[in-house]
Amino acid sequence: MALNRLLVTGAAGFIGSNFAHYWHRHYPQSRLIILDALTYAGNRANLTDLLAHPQVDLVEGNICDRTLVARLLKEYAIDTLVHFAAESHVDRSILGPEAFVQTNVVGTFTLLEAFRTHWQDQGKPEQLRFLHVSTDEVYGSLGPNDPAFSETTPYAPNSPYSASKAGSDHLARAYYHTYGLPTLITNCSNNYGPYHFPEKLIPLMCVNMLLGKPLPIYGDGQNIRDWLFVEDHCSALDAVLRGAAPGETYNIGGEAEVKNIDLVNLLCDLMNDLAPDLPIRPTQELITYVTDRPGHDRRYAMDISKIQADLGWQPSVTLEDGLKKTVTWYLEHRDWWMPLLSEEYQHYYKQIYEYP
């Protein structure tokens, strides 16, 4: 396995930046080229300390730019492409699905095509890898007593986000079966942790508690998600890159299913304990039920027995510990999240929460 020269797309975002930190910490000799369009979700500040190292470079550019991608693959002699770049928020995909099809489907196709040429030009070396990072949402929604999603669960995406990710997964799979391109696919459950943009549930709740703003719960708050601390996702991707055979798919999850309302209550308890100054205390007083998300998936849960058996990976951070680390991080990094509450953010916020 090569893993010496990585092109990492979308690593100015949440999971990608955590992965870049993880990778540099574990493999400091490895070259990391980050390709990111720096959309609203991409933030150079997520990488500040890393970019001081000569091994790490950030290229601002779009994954749909075939010429640029081809140049980077060749110029840096990339042996491994780790693909995080995506439009990633379900609510934004409901407001405007087009960007999701463009980046998630066309962008992934562009990367696969450029990588195929790069691989073929070198005589199809066995050790190259294209890791496509995806989501459990492609499998659709579970009933309360359904078994968790496995790698053989049929795809049934319900939002423009999950449909566009499903399309990109199918392309990555097809490039293995058709061309023999050494692709890998991972489908992971909901992540949480540092550098998470405050539009997703956990960072939004942390930021709103610190600002004394309402904590909006969609519908009846009984929807269930399976939560994984982002560092554990990074170690799972490491295990897949090192141990998985080309063409394989692995589910990754935290085995930590929680109802949204219970999760928000846990976050409130932690914030009440950890924050010295809060505009409203106890923060539970801020909980507000709002109109449900259209097509809101009821339950996600991941069966992770395959990655446990094949690669010996399992989550190492408990939900309690992970949430405590996360709440502490948001408390200590006001300077990181405050600038993100921009005019564009306020406009988005009004569209979702004030004029549903």
Give the residues lining the site for ligand NAD (CB under 6 A).
9-10, 12-16, 36-39, 41-42, 62-64, 84-88, 103, 107, 133-135, 165, 188, 190-191, 197
Give the one entry of ligand NAD, ligand TYD, none that residue 62 binds, where binding means its C-beta sits below a cut-off of 5 to 8 angstroms depending on kind.
ligand NAD
The pattern of x and - marking residues 293 through 312 that bind ligand TYD according to CB under 6 A reads x-------------------
Task: Encode 132-154: b = buried (16+ Cβ within 10 Å), e = exposed.
Answer: bbbbbbbbbbbeeeeebbebebe
Concatenated DSSP letters for 215-234?
EEEETTS--EEEEEEHHHHH
Name the phi and psi angles at 302, rounded to 5: -110, 135
| Span 64-103, contacts to ligand TYD by CB under 6 A | 90
Q: Which residues, listed in sequence order, are joined to residue 132 by a DSSP beta bridge? A: 83, 185
Give the one entry of ligand NAD, ligand TYD, none that residue 16 binds, where binding means its C-beta sits below a cut-off of 5 to 8 angstroms depending on kind.
ligand NAD
161 has catalytic annotation: yes
- Could you give the 3-state DSSP secondary structure of residue 270? helix
Give the one entry of ligand TYD, ligand NAD, none that residue 103 binds, where binding means its C-beta sits below a cut-off of 5 to 8 angstroms depending on kind.
ligand NAD
Size of site (CB under 6 A) for ligand TYD: 12
Structure-token pair, residue 322: 């992970």
Of 20, 120, 22, which Cα lies nearest the Cα of 73?
Answer: 120
Catalytic residue among 79, 137, 257, 297: 137
Query: Which one among 21, 129, 165, 225 touches ligand TYD, defined by CB under 6 A?
Result: 225
Give the one entry of ligand TYD, ligand NAD, none that residue 218 binds, where binding means its C-beta sits below a cut-off of 5 to 8 angstroms depending on kind.
ligand TYD
Nearer to ligand TYD (CB atom), residue 34 or residue 202: 202
Residue 254 CA to residue 158 CA, distance in Å, equals: 22
Report the largest interatomic distance among the alpha carbons of the chain, rounded to a whole angstrom.
64
Residues at the contact surface with ligand TYD, assessed by CB under 6 A: 90, 190, 200-201, 204, 216-218, 223, 225, 260, 293
